[in-house]
Amino acid sequence: MPGKLKAKIVAGRHLPVMDRASDLTDAFVEVKFGNTTFKTDVFPKSLNPQWNSEWFKFEVDDEDLQDEPLQITVLDHDTYSANDAIGKVYIDIDPLLCTEAASIISGWFPIYDTIHGIRGEINVLVKVELFNDLNRFRQSSCGVKFFCTTSIPRGYRAAMVHGFVEELVVNEDPEYQWIDRIRTPRASNEARQRLISLMSGELQRKIGLKVLEMGGNAVVGYLQCFDLEGESGLVVRAIGTACTLEKQSSGSLVNTHTHPNTAPASNACNSPSKDGKEPVFGEDLPSSSGPPTPFRNLPTSSSSPPPFSPFKPCSRQSSSSDTDLSLTPKTGMGSGGSAGKEAGPLKTLLRQQTQTALEQRGASSSGLLLNAREFPFFTLTSFPPGFLVHVGGVVSARSVKLLDRIHNPDEPETRDAWWEEIRQEIKSHAKALGCHAVVGYSENTSICEEVCILSASGTAAILNPRYMREGCLDIGSTDQRFDDPSPPSCGFCHIPYDELNMPFPAQLTYCYNCRRQKVPDVLFTTIDLPAEAAVTGKGCLIQARLCRLKKKAQGEVNATAISNLLPFMEYELHTQLMNKLKLRSMNALFGLHIQISVGENMLLGLASATGVYLTALPAPGGIQIAGKTSGDLNNEQHIQAIQKRINDTIAKNKELYQINPPELTEEGVGSPIPEPRHRSRLFRSHSESSDEVSELDLSHGKKDAFVLEIDDTDAVEDIHSLLIDASPPTGFYTCNTETMPGIYNWTTAVQMFTSVRVLRLSNANLSNQSLNKIFTDLCENLLKSFYFKLRSNIPCCLCHLNFTVAVPEEELIQVSVTAVAMTFDKDQTQERFITKGGIETEEQLQFPLELCADSSSTNAQPSSKFSGVPENTIVSPRAASVDYGSFADRCSTWLELLRLKAHTIRRGSVKTSRRTQSLAHSVSSLEHCSPLTEGRPRSLRSSRSFGGSSVTMVKMTPLSFLPGTRIIKYLGIINMFFIRETTSLREEGGVSGFLHSFIAEVFAMVRAHVAALGGNAVVSYSMKDCVLMENPNKNQAQCLINVSGDAVICVRETDQEPMTSMTNIGQTCAADGAT
Amino acid sequence: MAVELDVFVGNTTIMDEEVYQLWLDGYTVNDAVKVRMAGGMLDECEANQDVLLSDTMDQYRTFQMCERLLQSPAKLANQLLFQIPPHRQTMLIERYYAFDDVFVREVLGKKLSKGTKKDLDDIGAKTGVTLKSCRRQFDNFKRVFKVVEELKGPLVENIRQHFLLSDKLARDYAAIVFFANNRFETGKKKLQYLTFQDFAFCAGQLINNWTVGAVDNTVEDMDVDLDKEFLQELKELKILITDKDLLDQHKSLVCTALRGKTKAFAEMEANFKNLSRGLVNIATKLTNTKDVRDFFIDLVEKFIEPCRSDRWTSADIKLYLTHYTNSAHILDSFKHQAVWDRYMGVIKSCIYKMYHD
């Protein structure tokens, strides 16, 4: 009996009226975990019931604790008929299973109904007591920490990176079971929500087991996805990077799960003085002996058993599949499109893989280790300094599959094999680029009817093996690549592959930074811009958008048609990206994400990335327009006009993004595209004067010959669409990576948002061209809307702009965007806080004033906090959470304590009593006496400070950090799945009204869960799915949303206590108010 | 090709104050877009009409979803659906409960009933306030009225705490509730020159001095109903005009004090008996509900109009009323000093406020 789960139902508020006659509700609550259910008493005739129940205790296996959610159902008691459900709350108790995360869940949760949305709130307390588990063959993996963040979480250091972990579970979709015909939509939705919650719990547990077996204690970059395959079932799959993480707090190391040997080594490994040491790092690496590198030997001591099957030389795989690289447009084609039914060379491979997978499964679970060995993939997108040695380029693979029913949910081999195949392809691509690892790795799917496109992409790279578990990467003879001491600012740009045996035609030059190694002319990657990279100017979001019509078809014909189209789409997307990159005078893409979405009669492709000018790479040449026939004078003029426009745009962009590399300042910015001859001469002379390298320009004279040929009207259209992209208005920057190069002085104001737009194509006979235009306009207009909405945040940067496209129905295009607007200070960071207007200053003052009462106690706490004393950890974040109102609200029984505290604080006391009062009145108006009522003074001259707000502000961001703050604690992963359905679409304001309130509700539920864990922010937030189905004729709509992120407590950089987000938001909105 | 769906949701709810005002004022989305365009919004951030339309629609939806919460403002502070910083909440509430003086002037003193609500389109047409806005304002009055009706304690404080309004706005609502409850006549032609603020001031005076709450703050409706005992006691003041000696004595005391201090002395002396009779008669009749309703009419007819026709200045009025009140204390045979002060205190300040030069 390894765990005891305890839950207490405290109170409800704002309940809906369930009894029309009395305009009141007789509410009670069912608390269910596994198969055990408890009930509270009925609290008659109240919309604000106070149940104050006993502690309901569930004695359960920790395996169940990981899989199952706690299910709380609020019902209206009915004497004569069946009790009506008001709504439900699912609480994921996983965060409580980890000693370092949250220790209690306590707070107000929105009561959610899949038909009516949020219907009031309920106050719940949940605790878990875990007993020591001595069972060696356990199935649970309690204690493994999960992070959505795709970098080493702040406050931790990676003692060891173990490698890739993946798992998938399949099940029948309740929506498509026969029983669905006779049950209510509500029951069906709830069954689905519950099933998915169970499945993700199971998935997480299984991944945790793998991590434990690898000797790790955490999963970083955890990415979980759902594939709603309709009739054929429901797949939940996840990938991540197993790591051994250590807290970075001084002295006290928490390594419960670390192998004893790794702890001291990792200390040495990750020397705190990160800056400036990198070159030295590289130098002493290859020598496996000697005092500077004792840790080289270390991984051998890791507890992992010897691998089951001998490690296969990967060259074999790379030869068995065609190696296509999506690096340059010249070679971009064909890297997708191995249709399931016809992939010739892959077939053998496929069989092989499934066999081994089966063998492993049957033999022993330790065979799982093999996976990590076989796939040196990392879901991380940014790395500790020195980790990333070289970057090869983007590798991607796509495959089209026909879905058929999953016959046995316990044997998910088919889906496993599919992914196995794709991963092998990725791996071989990486090999061909001379790389032993793939970083920034991600997988996704697009499903339409029975056709499914599986995609995987990442960035081929060479990593520093010192951080890896041995065997995780096969380094072999390539070791000499670590010899060169490349400076961190450009080292990653240096080519990892052999110059004489290049995998694709590319123009190499000596690095413009160190002049010692070769670099390519452009670099595409899926990772974030490394912090140490040398960048000229600022970056911007670059998108390639593409629509391709296809004939409606069924089954294999359809799959073949799609897989035939894919290579062309990829090629065109790459051409677009390349052109747009050149147009902005940049030479590298980061965070590249290509999504291809399939619909019944079209394919949509959207590639997003952040373009930058890497100082180490050569300056991009311009774009030259060439006509096919030179005879026509008219045509000639036309071409000249276009050429001029392009040149002007390039010049304008250079100025806009402040791209003034040293070379260009020398020659004067006047002519963006000089004559090829002139230019090459210029480069030579420059290089001669500045460096000893003589054969600098081997081929880059050709670089200027980036020619766009206009041979038909299509090409003209393409060029027009190239020029259509508007640059963001003054004061705005955009990127889809974590941060923007060149901007450092962020303020604490962040505004996360989600926007969804659906377009109905009315005209059935659209051409590819006009469709492209429509799609491009849709994306551009969305961006325009964001600029307008967020104009009060200027100067600001829209970071992590994540576009997702879908074709929910024939004739519909859906684009969903989640991003965060981050305000920065143009020059001075401090001034802003001083020169605030009256109200804001007051509010900001509030926060330090109130804290000082507490500071004596909280200041003393950090040391004890990390040592894991549970009592301390409960109290400290809460007590310091500034807003005493919320404190009172969380747990009204603490009110006494609170009053004691409050009277020592001038402002605080006013607020507290005011809060008491409004609580009291809501109770008294119902004629129910509460102990709080007595505290109500007759004529309270309350200041209008309004601090009585009882809701903790919770910030959300898709980034892994909040500017100006420090994350002091990760409370656990948030992974929530909601379904909302309506049969009164018109009454809810149409489909926009329906989705608007649903998204707001999802935000509210995420915030409530985070606040209940004691947190004040969500980082690495993402909305992974937003599936909308509508039928306006029937007045119906249904939507599914899946969100995830990491719940955290963060404090202002300078403080020990959790910050008030109030201040910051106040700032944003005050600015808003000024408009 | 049509936009089927278009939403934008921020973690912190984004609300533009300008659009909020347009929504409160009852503009349709299209009209609001026109107003915004005319206001130069197109120049900002390279916006175009589509962008404005999309933004306005989003905001309108947000406001509609918020409206339910705004109707019981205490909920806004502890609801979870919208993350709105506290000072923004204050703004939202304050603006939602704000009203147009021209509109409230029309319904002041009327019963807040369905019947009145039916007349709102006429009032809207007359005042130039949109029907939608009229309805919101009327419903706000009604809601506040209904809630405070059943509460004990001071009226202004109750309103402020239940609706989280500013002191000023809470006082205005107290006035509206007070007028609606006592059904004071304000619509007569003679009263048209008075603004809502004039009446609100008078209501404040009455609430603070003449209601039950002025002496006892524990009873229900204490600030809404006038103090019956006090009204009874007012009858005793009749002696000031019925007893001839007393009247003459009073007059001579006042005239002695006023002599040489004002140009209007002659008129004051001549009118003294008439004016005194007027004021005392108002006092003695207040036991009848009908006469309570006519209180303001009576003040105007019996006092303000005669003075105005004699061209008294505000200063004259002040001087006269001060001495008129104080002289009564010197009258030996006049025993009702306390009641007299309680009565005249209010009358004095009401007349000052209502006397426009």
Task: Residue A943: list chain B partners with CB under 8 A.
Answer: none
Q: Which class in CATH covers the domain with range B228-354? A: mainly alpha
Return the SS3 of B164. Answer: coil
Kindly report, residue by residue over B80-116, the tens digit of the pLDDT: 999 999 999 999 999 999 999 999 998 888 888 888 8
The Cα A453–Cα A401 span in angstroms is 6
Kind and range of the H or E element at B283?
A: helix B265-285
pLDDT in tens, A959-975: 999 988 889 889 989 99
Higher pLDDT, B197 or A859: B197
Report yes or no: A785 at the B interface, CB cutoff 8 Å.
Answer: yes
**Contact call for residues A1014 and A879 (beta carbons, < 8 A):** no
Element (H, E) at A236: strand A234-247
Sign for the CA dihedral angle at B146, B147, B150, B156 comes to negative
Cβ neighbors of A217 (< 8 A, separation 6 or more) are A143, A144, A145, A211, A243, A244, A245, A255, A256, A257, A258
Question: What pLDDT, on a 0 to 100 scale, did the predictor assign at position A298?
Answer: 31
Interchain pair A1000, B65: CB under 8 A: yes
Q: How far is A366 from chain B (nearest CA, A)?
A: 44
Q: Are A604 and A805 in contact (CB under 8 A)?
A: yes
Contacts of B55 in chain A (CB under 8 A): 785, 788-789
Q: What is the pLDDT of residues B45-72, one digit of tens each?
A: 678 889 999 999 999 999 999 999 999 9
* CB spacing of A110 vs B80 below 8 angstroms: yes
Q: What is the pLDDT of residues A910-941, one digit of tens each?
A: 333 333 333 333 333 333 333 333 333 333 33
pLDDT in tens, A380-402: 998 888 888 888 889 999 999 88
Percent of chain A with pLDDT over 70: 63
Whether the link from the prior residue into A795 is cis, omega within 30° of 0, is: yes
Look at the alpha carbons of A572, A574, A577, A579 in this order and tell me if their dihedral is positive or negative. negative
Q: How many residues does chain A have?
A: 1075
Is the CB of B51 less than 8 angstroms away from the CB of A1065? no
CB of A926 within 8 Å of a chain B CB? The answer is no
Q: Which residue of A lies nearest to B168 if distances are taken between CA atoms?
A: A944
3-state secondary structure of A1055: coil
pLDDT at B221: 60
pLDDT digits (tens, 9 = 90+) for A25-54: 999 999 999 889 999 999 998 999 999 999
Domain boundaries, chain B: 17-97, 101-183, 228-354
pLDDT of residue A297: 32
Q: pLDDT at residue A97 above 90?
A: no
Is the complex ipTM higher than 0.85? yes
Is the pLDDT assigned to residue A125 strictly greater than 90? Answer: yes
Residue A711 confidence (pLDDT): 59
Rounded to whole angstroms, how far apart are CA atoms A825 and A832? Answer: 8
* A761 interfaces chain B, CB cutoff of 8 Å: yes
pTM here is: 0.79
- pLDDT tens column, A1020-1065: 999 988 999 888 888 999 999 999 999 999 988 776 544 444 333 3
pLDDT band at B138 (very low <50, low <70, confident <90, very high): very high
> Cβ–Cβ of B80/A889 closer than 8 Å?
no
Q: pLDDT tens digit string along A158-171?
A: 888 888 999 988 88
| The pLDDT of residue B169 | 94
The verdict on A751 touching B (C-beta cutoff 8 Å) is: yes
Report the SS3 class of residue B221.
coil
Of A951, A999, A1065, the CB nearest to B9: A999
Interface of B with A in 24-83 (CB under 8 A): 44-48, 50-52, 54-55, 57-58, 61-62, 64-65, 74-75, 77-83
- Interface contact A951-B16, CB threshold 8 A: no
Residue A958 pLDDT > 90, yes or no? yes
CA nearest to A578, candidates A620, A546, A616, A539: A620
DSSP notation for A803-865: EEEE--STTEEEEEEEEEEEEE-SS-SSHHHHT--HHHHHHHHHHHHHHHHHHHHHHTHHHHH
pLDDT in tens, A473-495: 554 444 444 445 567 778 888 88
A1004 interfaces chain B, CB cutoff of 8 Å: yes
Spacing of C-alpha A772 from chain mean position: 28
A713 vs A711: CA distance, rounded Å: 7
Q: Which residues of B touch A1062 (CB under 8 A)?
A: 85-86
Model pLDDT, residue A135:
54
Q: Is residue B153 predicted with pLDDT exceeding 90?
A: no
pLDDT value for A866: 36
